[in-house]
Chain A
Amino acid sequence: MTNGTVRDRSVGSGLFRTGVQQQATGSARVNATSITIRRSRVQRYSATLRRQLASYLFIAPALLFVAIFLLYPIVFTSYLSLFRWDGLHTPQFVGFANYMQLLTDPAFRTSFQNSLLWVVGTLLFPVGIGLTLAVVLSRLRLERGLKLLFYLPYALSPTSTAVLWGFLLDQQGALNVVLRALGLEALTRSWLISPPWHTALMIAAYTWLTAGTNMVLFLVGLRTIPPETVEAARLDGATPWQEFWRIVFPQLRPITLVVVTIALANSFMVFDLIWVLTQGGPFRSSETLAVMMYRESFVLFRLGYGAAIATLLSVIVLLLSTLYIRSMLRKEQY
């Protein structure tokens, strides 16, 4: 570290000291960032060990709570999916029978179809409208004012949204009243008990709730696009349509991927809205996978079966998330 005759005038106590080396020639060198460890090796090691153990104390509460309340249940649910259990008697091991049963269960077929409807609907409407709003609002420079309006539903809960829309869609609710006023009496119906309208309208409610958040994310993405690219295209005579598809949209790809993946994953997990509006009814016709899981577990007390549905749901959502995580990792390589 240093040469020949050096007198040490270190200051500070504890494990670390700031070293001040005074050369034999008399000039002092102070290296504020060089740290001289003056203890013996054994003491150094045990102090470090003590510090390591102490740092685990910082982590312990978080790890403990998450392990008990979140991680253990995940393991338990997957394991439970191999059993048949009503919550009272001892569980019976049935292997993959639950999963096999799903394949032939008409309720599952309906749930799966509805979930697909939700996925497609979510891509078209909350994401599509969110993107459109973001592009249009930023073009018209109206972001500040209108952003709040579209985004405000996010502060509402899915439950409040369900209460609101339930009221609008009621037999005597606003929608039917308007239809009647327009002379379209024939179109009125009990929306929430008519398949497939109930699912379609619940997707509309969901759009009202979530399009704003997608819009905000897209606005953030739009802000990162260098305006020169757009101006250059405009100077070359591109139409607004071309401008969007050829210049803007490709540069939005990272944020689009984020929004789409999150929206897709969420669309599988929608529960509150559906449960409050229809409980998956009538006769389970508006159930999705998430709702079916709840009904099988806590209404019909077929917990093993419910666990199988939950596990399947997790596999689907995890697959979607890996797509997203992989793209994020790829992004970090840039």
Chain B
Amino acid sequence: MRFLSRFFLPIGVGLLGLTWLAPFAIALLMTLKSQREALTRPFWTFPSTIALFENLRFAWEIGKLQFGFRNSLLYATAGAAAAIIIASAAAFALAILRPRASFLIFMVIFSGTLFPFQMHIIPLFRMYQDFGLYDTRWGLLLFYMTISIPFCTFVLRNYFTTIPREIGEAARLDGLSDFGVYLRIYLPLSLAPITTLFVFEFTWIWNDLLFGITLAKSPEVRPIMAGLASLRGVHSASNPPGILAGALLASAPTILVFLGLQRYFIRGLVLSTRG
């Protein structure tokens, strides 16, 4: 039995590793090929000419990913940042100031995360149309910000309770207001969870498709995943390298963030299981 595990396990893991690697490798190779070469030669051959820039340009201009990229950058950065600001203020009050009905309010905010997204889309679709938010960047930004608030509130509330109260109280004795304590004591001490939350929410917002296609319809407003989806819908048969270059483009920011900030990614993942 032990003999088996000594050989089979590493081989098994190796095979699984190759299986996991294969889609990446095949796709990356394909993005280097020209359209004609991709359609005429088998996928494992190396490209005779590197057509990466042509493919990227195809996705950027003809696939209109330039709009989606710009939009998603706005939604993900501003949305996550605004959510963290709003959530941290709420978390501060709920954890530290604790006015009446704090726990109830917290549960109300948190319940926003318990329901599937399908429960939100129909009314939001109608509300957005009635109030002129449909197909606007503000509309999407407000939504992405809001959907990030409950989880950020949850995490920061928990984190704030671990900060020793004496620090804040000492500051209060020195005359600092509640807002000052929040701004100058609790926020600076919370850089680690804030970074984790930013990475987590940035990724979530960047990767969204459902709300992007439901709450907006023009490429100038839609996020990048919506653009990628229509790019595939139109060109998948005729230009595989083009659409794969689009996928590469669409994934670059989150992959870069992931590689650079892995630690925070994984921390965010573990945090999300606590609620």
The A interface is mostly helix, strand or loop, or mixed, namely helix
Interchain CB contact under 8 A, A159 and B229: yes
Taken together as a complex, chains A and B put the C-alpha atoms of A14 and B240 apart, in Å, by 70
Interchain CB contact under 8 A, A140 and B247: no
Assess whether A142 is interfacial by the CB under 8 Å rule: yes
Residue of A whose beta carbon sits closest to that of B174? A12
Contact of A157 among B43, B142, B236, B250 (CB under 8 A): B250
Interface size class of A (residues with CB under 8 A): 35 or more
Taken together as a complex, chains A and B put the C-alpha atoms of A158 and B254 apart, in Å, by 12
Q: Number of residue pairs across A and B with beta carbons under 8 Å?
A: 265
Once A61-B86, A275-B209, A294-B118 are accepted as A-B contacts, the answer to whether A12 and B173 lie under 8 Å apart by CB is yes
Once A56-B93, A71-B111, A258-B273 are accepted as A-B contacts, the answer to whether A149 and B17 lie under 8 Å apart by CB is yes
Interchain CB contact under 8 A, B89 and A271: no
Assess whether A20 is interfacial by the CB under 8 Å rule: no
Residue of A whose beta carbon sits closest to that of B111? A71
Once A51-B97, A66-B112, A155-B254 are accepted as A-B contacts, the answer to whether A13 and B228 lie under 8 Å apart by CB is no
Interchain CB contact under 8 A, B240 and A167: yes
Taken together as a complex, chains A and B put the C-alpha atoms of A309 and B92 apart, in Å, by 38
Surface stretch bound by B, among A22-30, A97-105, A106-114, A310-318: A310-318
Interchain CB contact under 8 A, B251 and A160: yes
Interchain CB contact under 8 A, A140 and B10: yes
Residue of A whose beta carbon sits closest to that of B233? A276
Once A136-B12, A216-B266 are accepted as A-B contacts, the answer to whether A310 and B250 lie under 8 Å apart by CB is no
Assess whether A239 is interfacial by the CB under 8 Å rule: yes
- Give chain B nearest CB distance to A47 CB in angstroms: 12
Interchain CB contact under 8 A, A59 and B43: no
Once A66-B149, A66-B150, A310-B119 are accepted as A-B contacts, the answer to whether A59 and B225 lie under 8 Å apart by CB is no
Taken together as a complex, chains A and B put the C-alpha atoms of A52 and B244 apart, in Å, by 55
Taken together as a complex, chains A and B put the C-alpha atoms of A165 and B23 apart, in Å, by 7
Assess whether B270 is interfacial by the CB under 8 Å rule: yes
Interface string of B242-275 (1 = CB under 8 A from A): 0110110011001101110010011001100110
Assess whether A131 is interfacial by the CB under 8 Å rule: no
Interchain CB contact under 8 A, B225 and A157: yes
Interchain CB contact under 8 A, B236 and A167: yes
Taken together as a complex, chains A and B put the C-alpha atoms of A160 and B27 apart, in Å, by 11
Interchain CB contact under 8 A, A63 and B108: yes
- Give chain A nearest CB distance to B95 CB in angstroms: 11
- Give chain B nearest CB distance to A246 CB in angstroms: 15
Interchain CB contact under 8 A, A241 and B10: no
Assess whether B206 is interfacial by the CB under 8 Å rule: yes
**11 A-B pairs (CB sep. < 8 Å):** A58-B89, A62-B109, A66-B112, A136-B13, A154-B269, A156-B251, A158-B209, A170-B240, A239-B2, A276-B232, A298-B121
Interface residues of B (CB under 8 A from A): 1-2, 5, 9-10, 12-13, 16-17, 20-21, 23-24, 26-27, 30, 39, 42-43, 86-87, 89-90, 92-94, 97-100, 105, 108-109, 111-112, 114-127, 142-143, 145-147, 149-150, 153, 172-173, 175, 178-179, 182, 203, 206-210, 214, 225, 228-229, 232, 236-237, 240, 243-244, 246-247, 250-251, 254-255, 257-259, 262, 265-266, 269-270, 273-274
Given pairs A62-B153, A310-B122, A314-B118, 10 additional interface contacts (CB within 8 A): A12-B173, A66-B149, A80-B122, A139-B9, A157-B207, A157-B250, A160-B251, A298-B121, A310-B118, A321-B114
